[in-house]
Amino acid sequence: MAESFARGAFSGTLSQDLVFPYPQMHPDESEVVDMLRDSIRKYAVEHIDDERIDRDAEIPREVLDTLSGMGVMGMIIPEEYGGSGMSVTAYCKVLEEISYHSAAVAVTVGAHQSIGMKAIILFGNEEQKKKFLPALAAGEEYAAFALTEPGAGSDAGSIQATAVPTEDGSAYIVNGTKQWITNAGFARVFTIFAKTDVPGARNENQKVTGFVVTSDMPGVAAGPPEKKIGIRGSETNEVHLENVRVPAENLLGELGGGFKIAMGVLNEGRLGLSTGCVGASQRLIELATEFARERRQFDHAISDFEMIKEKLAEMAARTFAVESAAYLTAGLADRGVKDFSLESAICKIMSSEALWYVVNEAMQIYGGNGYMQEYPFGRMMRDARINSIFEGTNEILRVFIAGMGVRGPGEELQMVAKALRHPTRDFGVLSRYFGRKIEQTFLRERMRDIHPELRETARYIERAVHQLPGRVEQLLRKHGRGFVMRQYLMKRIADIAIDTYGMVATTSRTDALLKSGTPAAQELAMTRWWCRKATRRIRRNLRGLVVNSDELTTEVADRILTETPWFNRAAQSS
Protein backbone atom coordinates (compact mmCIF):
# COMPACT_ATOMS: atom_id res chain seq x y z
CA MET A 1 0.00 0.00 0.00
CA ALA A 2 1.29 3.47 -0.87
CA GLU A 3 1.82 6.04 1.90
CA SER A 4 -0.41 8.48 0.01
CA PHE A 5 -3.50 7.60 -1.99
CA ALA A 6 -2.85 10.35 -4.54
CA ARG A 7 0.80 9.39 -5.03
CA GLY A 8 -0.12 5.73 -5.32
CA ALA A 9 -2.70 6.49 -8.00
CA PHE A 10 0.05 7.78 -10.28
CA SER A 11 1.56 4.29 -10.17
CA GLY A 12 -1.76 2.50 -10.53
CA THR A 13 -1.99 1.55 -6.86
CA LEU A 14 -5.49 1.59 -5.38
CA SER A 15 -4.66 2.22 -1.70
CA GLN A 16 -8.20 1.71 -0.46
CA ASP A 17 -7.21 1.09 3.15
CA LEU A 18 -5.97 4.69 3.40
CA VAL A 19 -9.32 6.20 2.45
CA PHE A 20 -11.88 3.60 3.62
CA PRO A 21 -13.69 3.66 5.94
CA TYR A 22 -14.39 7.39 6.00
CA PRO A 23 -12.87 8.95 9.16
CA GLN A 24 -15.04 9.95 12.11
CA MET A 25 -14.23 12.14 15.09
CA HIS A 26 -14.26 10.52 18.50
CA PRO A 27 -17.77 11.01 20.00
CA ASP A 28 -16.42 12.95 22.99
CA GLU A 29 -14.54 15.40 20.78
CA SER A 30 -17.47 15.65 18.40
CA GLU A 31 -19.69 16.70 21.31
CA VAL A 32 -17.23 19.39 22.37
CA VAL A 33 -16.94 20.69 18.79
CA ASP A 34 -20.71 20.81 18.38
CA MET A 35 -21.04 22.87 21.55
CA LEU A 36 -18.29 25.24 20.47
CA ARG A 37 -19.80 25.66 17.02
CA ASP A 38 -23.19 26.35 18.58
CA SER A 39 -21.67 29.03 20.84
CA ILE A 40 -19.88 30.65 17.89
CA ARG A 41 -23.08 30.58 15.82
CA LYS A 42 -25.15 32.26 18.53
CA TYR A 43 -22.49 34.88 19.14
CA ALA A 44 -21.93 35.55 15.44
CA VAL A 45 -25.61 36.11 14.70
CA GLU A 46 -25.74 38.83 17.34
CA HIS A 47 -22.27 40.36 17.23
CA ILE A 48 -20.32 39.60 14.06
CA ASP A 49 -21.48 42.15 11.49
CA ASP A 50 -19.57 41.16 8.36
CA GLU A 51 -20.90 44.11 6.38
CA ARG A 52 -19.55 46.52 8.98
CA ILE A 53 -16.24 44.64 9.14
CA ASP A 54 -15.91 44.99 5.37
CA ARG A 55 -16.92 48.65 5.39
CA ASP A 56 -14.61 49.64 8.26
CA ALA A 57 -11.81 47.29 7.13
CA GLU A 58 -11.43 46.23 10.73
CA ILE A 59 -12.55 43.45 13.03
CA PRO A 60 -13.71 44.87 16.39
CA ARG A 61 -11.25 43.79 19.07
CA GLU A 62 -14.10 42.55 21.25
CA VAL A 63 -14.92 39.93 18.59
CA LEU A 64 -11.42 38.46 18.76
CA ASP A 65 -11.40 38.72 22.56
CA THR A 66 -14.71 36.87 22.79
CA LEU A 67 -13.52 34.11 20.48
CA SER A 68 -10.36 33.88 22.58
CA GLY A 69 -12.51 33.47 25.67
CA MET A 70 -14.26 30.55 23.98
CA GLY A 71 -10.89 28.89 23.44
CA VAL A 72 -10.85 29.45 19.68
CA MET A 73 -7.36 30.93 19.55
CA GLY A 74 -5.75 27.87 21.13
CA MET A 75 -7.70 25.05 19.51
CA ILE A 76 -4.73 23.24 17.95
CA ILE A 77 -2.23 23.94 20.75
CA PRO A 78 -1.59 20.88 22.96
CA GLU A 79 -3.16 21.00 26.41
CA GLU A 80 0.22 21.05 28.17
CA TYR A 81 0.88 24.47 26.62
CA GLY A 82 -2.51 25.96 27.46
CA GLY A 83 -4.52 24.95 24.40
CA SER A 84 -7.36 22.55 23.73
CA GLY A 85 -5.33 19.97 21.80
CA MET A 86 -8.05 19.54 19.19
CA SER A 87 -7.63 17.24 16.22
CA VAL A 88 -7.14 18.64 12.73
CA THR A 89 -10.69 17.58 11.91
CA ALA A 90 -12.13 19.40 14.93
CA TYR A 91 -10.20 22.56 14.13
CA CYS A 92 -11.43 22.48 10.52
CA LYS A 93 -15.02 22.06 11.72
CA VAL A 94 -14.74 25.21 13.85
CA LEU A 95 -13.08 27.20 11.08
CA GLU A 96 -15.89 26.12 8.74
CA GLU A 97 -18.39 27.58 11.20
CA ILE A 98 -16.52 30.88 11.51
CA SER A 99 -16.23 31.18 7.72
CA TYR A 100 -19.99 30.75 7.39
CA HIS A 101 -20.33 34.08 9.20
CA SER A 102 -17.23 36.06 8.19
CA ALA A 103 -14.34 35.32 5.87
CA ALA A 104 -12.24 38.09 7.41
CA VAL A 105 -12.57 36.69 10.92
CA ALA A 106 -11.83 33.18 9.66
CA VAL A 107 -8.69 34.36 7.87
CA THR A 108 -7.50 36.12 11.02
CA VAL A 109 -8.06 33.02 13.15
CA GLY A 110 -6.53 30.78 10.48
CA ALA A 111 -3.44 32.94 10.02
CA HIS A 112 -2.91 32.84 13.78
CA GLN A 113 -3.24 29.05 14.11
CA SER A 114 -3.14 27.23 10.77
CA ILE A 115 0.14 28.83 9.78
CA GLY A 116 1.26 31.52 12.25
CA MET A 117 2.07 29.29 15.22
CA LYS A 118 1.98 25.94 13.41
CA ALA A 119 5.73 25.81 12.85
CA ILE A 120 6.35 26.10 16.57
CA ILE A 121 3.93 23.25 17.27
CA LEU A 122 5.32 20.98 14.55
CA PHE A 123 9.02 21.84 14.62
CA GLY A 124 9.73 23.86 17.75
CA ASN A 125 11.73 22.45 20.63
CA GLU A 126 10.36 22.14 24.14
CA GLU A 127 11.77 25.48 25.30
CA GLN A 128 10.24 27.31 22.33
CA LYS A 129 6.85 25.72 22.89
CA LYS A 130 6.82 26.63 26.58
CA LYS A 131 7.95 30.16 25.84
CA PHE A 132 5.54 31.12 23.07
CA LEU A 133 2.49 28.86 22.98
CA PRO A 134 0.67 29.63 26.26
CA ALA A 135 0.15 33.33 25.45
CA LEU A 136 -0.86 32.45 21.89
CA ALA A 137 -3.36 29.88 23.18
CA ALA A 138 -4.98 32.43 25.46
CA GLY A 139 -5.28 35.04 22.73
CA GLU A 140 -3.06 37.38 24.74
CA GLU A 141 -0.70 37.41 21.75
CA TYR A 142 -1.19 36.66 18.06
CA ALA A 143 0.97 34.90 15.49
CA ALA A 144 1.81 35.51 11.83
CA PHE A 145 3.56 33.53 9.09
CA ALA A 146 6.12 35.56 7.14
CA LEU A 147 7.33 33.75 4.03
CA THR A 148 6.24 35.81 1.01
CA GLU A 149 8.43 38.66 -0.25
CA PRO A 150 7.99 41.30 -2.98
CA GLY A 151 10.12 39.20 -5.33
CA ALA A 152 9.27 35.76 -3.98
CA GLY A 153 5.71 34.52 -3.91
CA SER A 154 5.10 30.84 -4.51
CA ASP A 155 8.83 30.28 -5.16
CA ALA A 156 10.05 30.04 -1.56
CA GLY A 157 13.56 29.22 -2.70
CA SER A 158 13.99 32.69 -4.20
CA ILE A 159 13.52 34.66 -0.98
CA GLN A 160 16.06 37.42 -0.41
CA ALA A 161 15.85 37.95 3.35
CA THR A 162 19.13 36.97 4.99
CA ALA A 163 20.16 35.70 8.40
CA VAL A 164 23.87 36.02 9.21
CA PRO A 165 25.28 34.52 12.42
CA THR A 166 27.16 36.77 14.82
CA GLU A 167 30.84 36.05 15.44
CA ASP A 168 30.12 34.37 18.77
CA GLY A 169 27.22 32.37 17.31
CA SER A 170 24.78 33.62 19.94
CA ALA A 171 22.41 35.25 17.44
CA TYR A 172 21.55 35.87 13.80
CA ILE A 173 21.27 39.30 12.16
CA VAL A 174 18.18 39.24 9.96
CA ASN A 175 17.49 41.69 7.13
CA GLY A 176 14.72 41.72 4.56
CA THR A 177 11.13 42.60 3.76
CA LYS A 178 8.10 40.33 3.94
CA GLN A 179 4.94 41.12 2.01
CA TRP A 180 1.21 40.42 2.43
CA ILE A 181 1.55 39.08 5.96
CA THR A 182 -1.82 38.51 7.62
CA ASN A 183 -2.05 39.68 11.27
CA ALA A 184 1.29 41.51 10.94
CA GLY A 185 -0.12 44.77 12.28
CA PHE A 186 -0.88 43.34 15.73
CA ALA A 187 0.94 40.00 15.91
CA ARG A 188 3.75 39.63 18.41
CA VAL A 189 5.10 36.24 17.26
CA PHE A 190 6.30 35.79 13.68
CA THR A 191 7.57 32.70 11.92
CA ILE A 192 10.18 34.25 9.62
CA PHE A 193 12.12 32.56 6.83
CA ALA A 194 15.51 33.80 5.66
CA LYS A 195 18.49 32.59 3.66
CA THR A 196 21.46 31.33 5.65
CA ASP A 197 24.91 30.09 4.71
CA VAL A 198 24.52 26.31 4.76
CA PRO A 199 27.68 24.37 3.86
CA GLY A 200 26.96 21.70 1.29
CA ALA A 201 23.56 23.05 0.28
CA ARG A 202 22.69 21.65 -3.16
CA ASN A 203 20.10 24.28 -4.05
CA GLU A 204 18.55 27.51 -2.83
CA ASN A 205 15.76 25.72 -0.96
CA GLN A 206 18.33 24.11 1.31
CA LYS A 207 19.56 27.53 2.43
CA VAL A 208 16.18 28.64 3.81
CA THR A 209 15.96 28.64 7.61
CA GLY A 210 13.04 29.35 9.93
CA PHE A 211 13.17 31.64 12.97
CA VAL A 212 10.79 32.85 15.64
CA VAL A 213 10.91 36.65 15.64
CA THR A 214 8.93 38.85 18.02
CA SER A 215 7.64 42.30 17.23
CA ASP A 216 9.44 43.89 20.19
CA MET A 217 12.88 43.05 18.77
CA PRO A 218 14.66 46.24 17.63
CA GLY A 219 14.49 46.57 13.85
CA VAL A 220 11.10 44.87 13.37
CA ALA A 221 8.48 47.18 11.89
CA ALA A 222 5.10 46.56 10.28
CA GLY A 223 3.99 48.77 7.43
CA PRO A 224 0.52 50.31 7.14
CA PRO A 225 -2.42 47.99 6.42
CA GLU A 226 -2.76 47.03 2.75
CA LYS A 227 -5.92 48.17 0.97
CA LYS A 228 -7.40 44.91 -0.28
CA ILE A 229 -10.51 44.34 -2.36
CA GLY A 230 -11.69 41.48 -0.13
CA ILE A 231 -11.28 40.03 3.38
CA ARG A 232 -10.84 43.69 4.27
CA GLY A 233 -11.27 43.16 7.99
CA SER A 234 -8.21 40.94 8.20
CA GLU A 235 -5.08 43.03 8.63
CA THR A 236 -2.39 42.55 5.99
CA ASN A 237 0.93 44.39 6.12
CA GLU A 238 4.53 44.37 5.03
CA VAL A 239 7.08 43.44 7.68
CA HIS A 240 10.44 45.18 7.57
CA LEU A 241 13.45 43.55 9.21
CA GLU A 242 16.49 45.79 9.61
CA ASN A 243 19.50 44.35 11.42
CA VAL A 244 17.22 42.39 13.73
CA ARG A 245 19.20 40.46 16.30
CA VAL A 246 17.45 37.11 16.70
CA PRO A 247 18.78 34.86 19.48
CA ALA A 248 20.16 31.56 18.23
CA GLU A 249 17.70 29.72 20.47
CA ASN A 250 14.90 31.10 18.27
CA LEU A 251 16.06 29.07 15.27
CA LEU A 252 13.30 26.64 14.26
CA GLY A 253 14.37 23.10 13.46
CA GLU A 254 17.66 22.71 11.66
CA LEU A 255 19.80 25.21 9.81
CA GLY A 256 18.65 25.05 6.19
CA GLY A 257 15.47 23.18 7.14
CA GLY A 258 13.16 26.14 6.63
CA PHE A 259 11.78 25.07 3.26
CA LYS A 260 10.62 21.76 4.74
CA ILE A 261 9.07 23.62 7.67
CA ALA A 262 7.22 26.06 5.41
CA MET A 263 5.83 23.28 3.22
CA GLY A 264 4.80 21.24 6.26
CA VAL A 265 2.95 24.19 7.73
CA LEU A 266 1.18 25.01 4.47
CA ASN A 267 0.08 21.40 3.97
CA GLU A 268 -2.10 21.57 7.08
CA GLY A 269 -2.97 25.23 6.59
CA ARG A 270 -4.59 24.41 3.27
CA LEU A 271 -7.07 22.15 5.02
CA GLY A 272 -8.34 25.02 7.16
CA LEU A 273 -8.62 27.16 4.06
CA SER A 274 -10.57 24.38 2.35
CA THR A 275 -13.15 23.97 5.10
CA GLY A 276 -13.39 27.74 5.32
CA CYS A 277 -14.49 27.70 1.69
CA VAL A 278 -16.99 25.00 2.60
CA GLY A 279 -18.56 27.18 5.29
CA ALA A 280 -18.94 30.13 2.92
CA SER A 281 -20.35 27.87 0.18
CA GLN A 282 -22.93 26.42 2.58
CA ARG A 283 -24.19 29.88 3.44
CA LEU A 284 -24.47 30.80 -0.24
CA ILE A 285 -26.36 27.60 -1.03
CA GLU A 286 -28.83 28.35 1.77
CA LEU A 287 -29.40 31.87 0.45
CA ALA A 288 -29.78 30.70 -3.14
CA THR A 289 -32.19 27.85 -2.42
CA GLU A 290 -34.39 30.02 -0.21
CA PHE A 291 -34.58 32.73 -2.88
CA ALA A 292 -35.21 30.19 -5.66
CA ARG A 293 -38.19 28.80 -3.77
CA GLU A 294 -39.69 32.23 -3.09
CA ARG A 295 -38.93 34.15 -6.28
CA ARG A 296 -41.73 33.77 -8.84
CA GLN A 297 -41.54 34.41 -12.58
CA PHE A 298 -44.01 33.35 -15.27
CA ASP A 299 -46.36 31.97 -12.58
CA HIS A 300 -43.70 29.62 -11.26
CA ALA A 301 -41.12 29.65 -8.51
CA ILE A 302 -37.80 29.97 -10.34
CA SER A 303 -36.74 26.75 -8.61
CA ASP A 304 -39.08 24.98 -11.05
CA PHE A 305 -36.89 25.92 -14.00
CA GLU A 306 -34.24 23.46 -15.11
CA MET A 307 -31.48 26.02 -15.58
CA ILE A 308 -31.88 27.01 -11.93
CA LYS A 309 -31.99 23.37 -10.86
CA GLU A 310 -28.77 22.79 -12.77
CA LYS A 311 -27.05 25.61 -10.90
CA LEU A 312 -28.27 24.41 -7.51
CA ALA A 313 -27.26 20.82 -8.27
CA GLU A 314 -23.71 21.79 -9.18
CA MET A 315 -23.39 24.21 -6.27
CA ALA A 316 -24.44 21.48 -3.86
CA ALA A 317 -22.48 18.60 -5.39
CA ARG A 318 -19.25 20.56 -5.72
CA THR A 319 -19.48 21.74 -2.12
CA PHE A 320 -20.24 18.19 -0.96
CA ALA A 321 -17.21 16.89 -2.87
CA VAL A 322 -14.92 19.54 -1.37
CA GLU A 323 -16.25 18.90 2.12
CA SER A 324 -15.76 15.16 1.67
CA ALA A 325 -12.20 15.55 0.38
CA ALA A 326 -11.18 18.05 3.06
CA TYR A 327 -12.38 15.95 5.99
CA LEU A 328 -11.02 12.76 4.46
CA THR A 329 -7.61 14.45 4.33
CA ALA A 330 -7.99 15.89 7.83
CA GLY A 331 -8.67 12.34 8.96
CA LEU A 332 -5.42 11.22 7.34
CA ALA A 333 -3.56 13.91 9.28
CA ASP A 334 -5.25 12.88 12.53
CA ARG A 335 -4.27 9.24 11.95
CA GLY A 336 -0.65 10.28 11.70
CA VAL A 337 -0.30 9.63 7.98
CA LYS A 338 2.89 11.51 7.17
CA ASP A 339 2.37 12.23 3.49
CA PHE A 340 -0.81 14.07 2.60
CA SER A 341 0.79 16.97 0.73
CA LEU A 342 -0.82 16.10 -2.62
CA GLU A 343 -4.20 15.56 -0.99
CA SER A 344 -4.11 18.92 0.82
CA ALA A 345 -3.10 20.70 -2.40
CA ILE A 346 -6.01 18.98 -4.16
CA CYS A 347 -8.40 20.15 -1.44
CA LYS A 348 -7.18 23.73 -1.71
CA ILE A 349 -7.73 23.82 -5.46
CA MET A 350 -11.12 22.10 -5.28
CA SER A 351 -12.41 24.31 -2.48
CA SER A 352 -11.30 27.68 -3.82
CA GLU A 353 -12.65 26.97 -7.30
CA ALA A 354 -15.89 25.52 -5.95
CA LEU A 355 -16.52 28.59 -3.79
CA TRP A 356 -15.85 30.90 -6.74
CA TYR A 357 -18.39 28.93 -8.78
CA VAL A 358 -20.93 28.91 -5.96
CA VAL A 359 -20.79 32.64 -5.23
CA ASN A 360 -21.06 33.47 -8.93
CA GLU A 361 -24.08 31.23 -9.43
CA ALA A 362 -25.77 32.36 -6.23
CA MET A 363 -25.51 35.93 -7.48
CA GLN A 364 -26.92 34.83 -10.84
CA ILE A 365 -29.89 33.15 -9.18
CA TYR A 366 -30.67 36.40 -7.37
CA GLY A 367 -30.53 38.25 -10.69
CA GLY A 368 -30.47 42.04 -10.38
CA ASN A 369 -30.98 41.78 -6.63
CA GLY A 370 -27.67 39.98 -6.32
CA TYR A 371 -25.86 42.98 -7.75
CA MET A 372 -27.19 45.34 -5.08
CA GLN A 373 -25.10 46.24 -2.04
CA GLU A 374 -27.91 45.37 0.37
CA TYR A 375 -27.21 41.71 -0.40
CA PRO A 376 -23.95 40.02 0.64
CA PHE A 377 -22.90 38.59 -2.73
CA GLY A 378 -20.59 41.37 -3.83
CA ARG A 379 -18.74 41.24 -0.53
CA MET A 380 -18.61 37.45 -0.54
CA MET A 381 -17.35 37.42 -4.12
CA ARG A 382 -14.55 39.81 -3.22
CA ASP A 383 -13.73 37.73 -0.16
CA ALA A 384 -13.76 34.47 -2.13
CA ARG A 385 -11.36 35.62 -4.82
CA ILE A 386 -8.24 35.45 -2.65
CA ASN A 387 -8.57 31.72 -1.97
CA SER A 388 -7.15 30.64 -5.32
CA ILE A 389 -4.13 32.90 -4.74
CA PHE A 390 -2.82 32.58 -1.22
CA GLU A 391 -1.15 29.55 0.39
CA GLY A 392 0.13 28.64 -3.07
CA THR A 393 -1.62 29.76 -6.24
CA ASN A 394 -3.76 27.12 -7.87
CA GLU A 395 -1.45 27.17 -10.89
CA ILE A 396 1.62 26.43 -8.75
CA LEU A 397 -0.25 23.71 -6.87
CA ARG A 398 -1.31 22.00 -10.09
CA VAL A 399 2.35 21.93 -11.14
CA PHE A 400 3.21 20.57 -7.68
CA ILE A 401 0.59 17.81 -7.87
CA ALA A 402 1.66 16.67 -11.32
CA GLY A 403 5.38 17.04 -10.63
CA MET A 404 5.35 15.17 -7.33
CA GLY A 405 2.88 12.61 -8.63
CA VAL A 406 5.05 11.56 -11.56
CA ARG A 407 8.26 11.55 -9.50
CA GLY A 408 7.76 7.95 -8.37
CA PRO A 409 7.04 6.57 -11.86
CA GLY A 410 9.90 8.69 -13.25
CA GLU A 411 12.43 7.31 -10.77
CA GLU A 412 11.23 3.79 -11.52
CA LEU A 413 11.70 4.30 -15.25
CA GLN A 414 15.26 5.52 -14.64
CA MET A 415 15.98 2.39 -12.60
CA VAL A 416 14.51 0.17 -15.32
CA ALA A 417 16.56 1.92 -18.00
CA LYS A 418 19.75 1.25 -16.01
CA ALA A 419 18.71 -2.32 -15.30
CA LEU A 420 18.19 -3.04 -18.99
CA ARG A 421 21.91 -2.43 -19.53
CA HIS A 422 22.70 -5.23 -17.04
CA PRO A 423 19.60 -7.46 -17.06
CA THR A 424 21.26 -10.39 -15.30
CA ARG A 425 22.68 -8.33 -12.48
CA ASP A 426 19.51 -6.21 -12.01
CA PHE A 427 17.00 -8.96 -12.68
CA GLY A 428 15.09 -8.09 -9.49
CA VAL A 429 14.38 -4.54 -10.65
CA LEU A 430 13.12 -5.76 -14.02
CA SER A 431 11.02 -8.57 -12.60
CA ARG A 432 9.26 -6.24 -10.15
CA TYR A 433 8.58 -3.67 -12.88
CA PHE A 434 7.28 -6.09 -15.49
CA GLY A 435 5.41 -8.09 -12.87
CA ARG A 436 3.56 -4.97 -11.83
CA LYS A 437 2.82 -4.09 -15.45
CA ILE A 438 1.31 -7.55 -15.99
CA GLU A 439 -0.80 -7.18 -12.85
CA GLN A 440 -2.05 -3.77 -14.00
CA THR A 441 -2.98 -5.21 -17.39
CA PHE A 442 -4.53 -8.56 -16.44
CA LEU A 443 -5.11 -8.54 -12.68
CA ARG A 444 -6.41 -5.04 -12.07
CA GLU A 445 -7.01 -4.15 -8.45
CA ARG A 446 -10.67 -3.70 -7.54
CA MET A 447 -12.49 -1.74 -4.86
CA ARG A 448 -13.46 -4.07 -2.02
CA ASP A 449 -16.56 -4.23 0.16
CA ILE A 450 -18.28 -1.22 -1.41
CA HIS A 451 -21.99 -0.72 -0.72
CA PRO A 452 -24.05 -2.03 -3.68
CA GLU A 453 -25.48 1.45 -4.33
CA LEU A 454 -21.96 2.68 -5.08
CA ARG A 455 -20.72 0.03 -7.49
CA GLU A 456 -20.98 2.46 -10.40
CA THR A 457 -18.79 5.08 -8.71
CA ALA A 458 -16.32 2.38 -7.63
CA ARG A 459 -15.88 1.38 -11.28
CA TYR A 460 -15.18 5.00 -12.18
CA ILE A 461 -12.44 5.15 -9.53
CA GLU A 462 -10.90 1.86 -10.65
CA ARG A 463 -10.86 2.98 -14.27
CA ALA A 464 -9.19 6.31 -13.44
CA VAL A 465 -6.49 4.73 -11.28
CA HIS A 466 -5.80 2.04 -13.88
CA GLN A 467 -5.60 4.45 -16.82
CA LEU A 468 -3.45 7.19 -15.27
CA PRO A 469 -0.08 5.37 -14.91
CA GLY A 470 0.00 4.30 -18.56
CA ARG A 471 -0.45 7.85 -19.76
CA VAL A 472 2.08 9.15 -17.24
CA GLU A 473 4.67 6.64 -18.44
CA GLN A 474 4.05 7.61 -22.07
CA LEU A 475 4.63 11.27 -21.25
CA LEU A 476 7.78 10.56 -19.28
CA ARG A 477 9.21 8.43 -22.07
CA LYS A 478 8.43 11.14 -24.61
CA HIS A 479 9.50 14.24 -22.70
CA GLY A 480 11.89 12.94 -20.03
CA ARG A 481 13.01 15.66 -17.64
CA GLY A 482 11.50 18.25 -19.96
CA PHE A 483 8.07 17.18 -18.75
CA VAL A 484 8.33 19.66 -15.84
CA MET A 485 8.12 22.50 -18.38
CA ARG A 486 5.09 21.09 -20.19
CA GLN A 487 2.50 22.83 -18.07
CA TYR A 488 -0.41 22.23 -20.44
CA LEU A 489 0.14 18.52 -19.87
CA MET A 490 0.83 18.92 -16.16
CA LYS A 491 -2.45 20.77 -15.68
CA ARG A 492 -4.38 17.90 -17.26
CA ILE A 493 -2.54 15.34 -15.14
CA ALA A 494 -3.26 17.37 -12.00
CA ASP A 495 -6.93 17.73 -12.89
CA ILE A 496 -7.20 13.96 -13.36
CA ALA A 497 -5.74 13.49 -9.88
CA ILE A 498 -8.11 16.11 -8.44
CA ASP A 499 -11.19 14.51 -9.97
CA THR A 500 -10.08 11.04 -8.91
CA TYR A 501 -9.59 12.10 -5.30
CA GLY A 502 -12.97 13.83 -5.32
CA MET A 503 -14.58 10.57 -6.48
CA VAL A 504 -12.77 8.62 -3.78
CA ALA A 505 -13.77 11.06 -1.03
CA THR A 506 -17.46 11.25 -1.92
CA THR A 507 -17.68 7.49 -2.39
CA SER A 508 -15.95 6.77 0.91
CA ARG A 509 -18.16 9.21 2.79
CA THR A 510 -21.42 7.94 1.32
CA ASP A 511 -20.33 4.33 1.71
CA ALA A 512 -19.89 4.90 5.45
CA LEU A 513 -23.30 6.56 5.73
CA LEU A 514 -25.09 3.79 3.85
CA LYS A 515 -23.44 1.04 5.88
CA SER A 516 -24.35 2.78 9.13
CA GLY A 517 -28.01 2.90 8.17
CA THR A 518 -28.05 6.71 8.18
CA PRO A 519 -30.50 8.24 5.66
CA ALA A 520 -28.24 9.30 2.80
CA ALA A 521 -30.42 9.97 -0.23
CA GLN A 522 -28.93 13.45 -0.76
CA GLU A 523 -25.37 12.24 -0.31
CA LEU A 524 -25.90 9.31 -2.67
CA ALA A 525 -27.36 11.53 -5.37
CA MET A 526 -24.54 14.07 -5.06
CA THR A 527 -21.90 11.34 -5.09
CA ARG A 528 -23.30 9.84 -8.26
CA TRP A 529 -23.60 13.28 -9.86
CA TRP A 530 -20.02 14.24 -8.97
CA CYS A 531 -18.51 10.95 -10.07
CA ARG A 532 -20.30 10.91 -13.42
CA LYS A 533 -19.20 14.47 -14.14
CA ALA A 534 -15.67 13.80 -12.90
CA THR A 535 -15.20 10.66 -14.99
CA ARG A 536 -16.21 12.59 -18.11
CA ARG A 537 -13.64 15.26 -17.30
CA ILE A 538 -11.02 12.59 -16.69
CA ARG A 539 -11.77 10.97 -20.04
CA ARG A 540 -11.45 14.37 -21.75
CA ASN A 541 -8.17 15.15 -20.02
CA LEU A 542 -6.69 11.75 -20.83
CA ARG A 543 -7.51 12.31 -24.48
CA GLY A 544 -6.12 15.85 -24.24
CA LEU A 545 -2.73 14.47 -23.29
CA VAL A 546 -2.49 13.19 -26.86
CA VAL A 547 -4.90 15.25 -28.98
CA ASN A 548 -4.99 18.95 -28.14
CA SER A 549 -4.53 22.50 -29.37
CA ASP A 550 -1.56 23.33 -27.15
CA GLU A 551 0.65 24.55 -29.98
CA LEU A 552 -2.06 26.91 -31.16
CA THR A 553 -2.55 28.16 -27.60
CA THR A 554 1.15 28.98 -27.40
CA GLU A 555 1.07 30.70 -30.78
CA VAL A 556 -1.83 32.95 -29.77
CA ALA A 557 -0.17 33.87 -26.47
CA ASP A 558 3.23 34.51 -28.04
CA ARG A 559 1.74 36.73 -30.72
CA ILE A 560 -0.07 38.80 -28.09
CA LEU A 561 3.16 39.06 -26.12
CA THR A 562 5.40 40.04 -29.03
CA GLU A 563 3.16 41.80 -31.55
CA THR A 564 0.90 44.85 -31.45
CA PRO A 565 -2.52 43.65 -30.23
CA TRP A 566 -5.20 43.65 -32.90
CA PHE A 567 -7.25 46.26 -31.02
CA ASN A 568 -4.39 48.80 -31.19
CA ARG A 569 -3.57 48.47 -34.89
CA ALA A 570 -6.25 50.86 -36.13
CA ALA A 571 -5.14 53.57 -33.70
CA GLN A 572 -1.50 53.17 -34.79
CA SER A 573 -2.30 53.26 -38.50
CA SER A 574 -4.33 56.45 -38.13
Peptide bond into 165 cis (omega under 30): no
β partners of residue 178: 239
- CB-side neighbour CA atoms (13 Å) of 317: 22
Give the angle subtended at the CA of 117 by the CAs of 183 and 187, to the nearest 5°. 30
Residue 369 DSSP code: G
Check residue 391 and give left, alpha or beta (phi > 0: left; psi -120 to 50: alpha): left
Q: Looking at the chain, how many residues does it have? A: 574
3-state secondary structure of 129: helix
3-state secondary structure of 361: helix
Q: Assess whether 391 carries a catalytic annotation.
A: yes
d(CA 562, CA 489): 24
What is the distance between the terminal CA atoms of the chain, rounded to a whole angstrom? 68
Residue 520 DSSP code: -
Residues 6+ away with beta carbon under 8 Å from 338:
3
d(CA 75, CA 32): 11
β partners of residue 212: 191
The one catalytic residue in 391, 456, 462, 563 is: 391
d(CA 388, CA 397): 10
The catalytic site residues sit at: 391
